[in-house]
């Protein structure tokens, strides 16, 4: 039906107030499973160091009666270290902006600093997973921590041409020819870890590799559960049970998709030199500046307790 003549409607009106919600919606993921799981310890220098040790191989220990006792060969501990990396983000907000009425937040600076803090956590997670060696830094070069890729060497499955790092943070893993992730490769590394005395409990892998893991078959396969009172079937890989240990699969967005890390989580921690802190910067004009800063490094207590399935196809 047509509108009556001279009807005044919203299309003609001037001065209708905007209808803008006071809620800001964000779907960007900010979970950091590895960094969150790492125990936090204190660093007191830009080079944080620790020691590792191991037992010799077992032997048939038999001796004649009354014989002299000779000393076993003593091997020294291994001294390792990693440099702290500075993670820094800053925001500059014009002072005029602080005076206007806004939707979704009262103060722009507070909102933006919270957002920067979430983004910085993702940067930290990415650095911990990164295949990068430690960098001492200088007046013109940023200091960098050695990520997981430069520590794990003892237990691995790698592609042709791939090479393990030295395992002390001084060099990174050499990438090899990519192959498809499968159960045989995974079980092989689990066995290697067990043989070296490790007790892995968590596996970090990309969503693409997680879908490959969901296809593992046999007695060690994933569980499918039906929730009571719900018609949905929830397929989840809670744990994976092998003769070499039981691990939890944890999808991660920040590790390289070509790498699957099988970790004994308590063998890693984050040594923090400067905890996350928001600091006001000097005012130089008609604006307000703040930075958020964290300085930390990754500690690999003993890499032989963990492993990697490297050089995997990602599509």
Q: pLDDT tens digits for 162-208?
A: 999 999 999 999 999 999 999 999 999 999 999 999 999 999 999 99
Per the structure block, which two tokens stand in for 220?
Answer: 């060690």
- Within a domain: residue 98? yes
- Within a domain: residue 15? no
Domain tally, the chain: 1
Per the structure block, which two tokens stand in for 290?
Answer: 């703040």
Quote the pTM value. Answer: 0.85
- Within a domain: residue 314? no
What integer pLDDT is reported at residue 10 of this predicted model?
67
* pLDDT band with cut points at 50, 70 and 90 for residue 96: confident
The strand pair at 307-309 and 156-157 is best described as: parallel
Q: What is the CATH number of the domain that holds 151?
A: 3.90.1690
* pLDDT band with cut points at 50, 70 and 90 for residue 143: very high
- Within a domain: residue 64? no
Helices marked H in 152-258 — which ranges? 183-195, 207-213
What integer pLDDT is reported at residue 187 of this predicted model?
94
Question: Is residue 224 over pLDDT 50?
Answer: no
What's the average model confidence in pLDDT over 18-29?
61
How many other CB atoms sit within 10 Å of the CB of residue 15? 4
- Within a domain: residue 17? no
- Within a domain: residue 58? no
- Within a domain: residue 13? no
What CA–CA distances, in Å, run from 78 to 19, 28, 100, 121, 152?
A: 65, 42, 60, 31, 15
* pLDDT band with cut points at 50, 70 and 90 for residue 95: confident
Contact 242, 220 (CB under 8 A): yes
- Within a domain: residue 2? no
Provide the residue range defining the domain that includes 48: 33-52+78-309
**How far apart (Å, rounded) are the C-alpha atoms in residues 155 and 187?**
11
Strands (E), the chain: 39-42, 47-52, 78-83, 85-94, 156-157, 202-205, 223-226, 233-236, 240-242, 245-251, 260-263, 268-280, 287-300, 307-309
* pLDDT band with cut points at 50, 70 and 90 for residue 235: very low
* pLDDT band with cut points at 50, 70 and 90 for residue 16: low
């Amino acid at each position: 039906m047509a509108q009556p003549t001279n009807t005044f409607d919203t299309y003609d009106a001037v001065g209708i107030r905007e209808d803008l919600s006071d809620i800001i919606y964000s779907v960007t993921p900010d979970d950091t499973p590895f960094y969150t799981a790492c125990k936090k310890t204190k660093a007191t220098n830009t080079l944080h160091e620790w020691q590792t040790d191991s037992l010799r191989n077992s032997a048939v220990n038999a001796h004649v009666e009354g014989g002299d006792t000779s000393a076993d060969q003593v091997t020294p501990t291994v001294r390792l270290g990693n440099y702290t990396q500075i993670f820094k983000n800053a925001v500059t907000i014009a002072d005029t902006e602080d005076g206007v009425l806004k939707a979704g937040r009262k103060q722009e600076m507070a909102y933006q600093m919270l957002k920067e803090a979430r983004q910085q956590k993702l940067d930290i997670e990415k650095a911990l997973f990164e295949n990068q060696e430690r960098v001492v830094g200088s007046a013109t070069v940023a200091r960098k921590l050695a990520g997981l890729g430069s520590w794990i060497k003892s237990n691995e499955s790698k592609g042709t041409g791939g090479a393990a790092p030295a395992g002390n943070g001084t060099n990174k893993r050499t990438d090899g020819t990519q192959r498809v992730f499968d159960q045989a490769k995974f079980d092989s590394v689990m066995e290697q870890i067990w043989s070296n005395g490790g007790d892995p409990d968590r596996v970090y892998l990309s969503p693409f590799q997680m879908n490959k893991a969901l296809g593992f078959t046999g007695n060690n396969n994933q569980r499918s559960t039906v929730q009571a009172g719900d018609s949905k079937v929830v397929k989840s890989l809670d744990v994976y049970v092998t003769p070499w240990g039981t691990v939890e699969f944890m999808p991660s967005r920040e590790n390289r998709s070509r790498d699957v890390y099988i970790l004994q989580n308590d063998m890693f921690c984050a040594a923090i030199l400067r905890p996350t802190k928001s600091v006001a910067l000097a005012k130089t004009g008609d604006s307000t500046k703040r930075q958020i800063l964290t300085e930390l490094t990754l500690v690999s207590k003993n890499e032989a307790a963990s492993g990697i399935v490297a050089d995997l196809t990602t599509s």
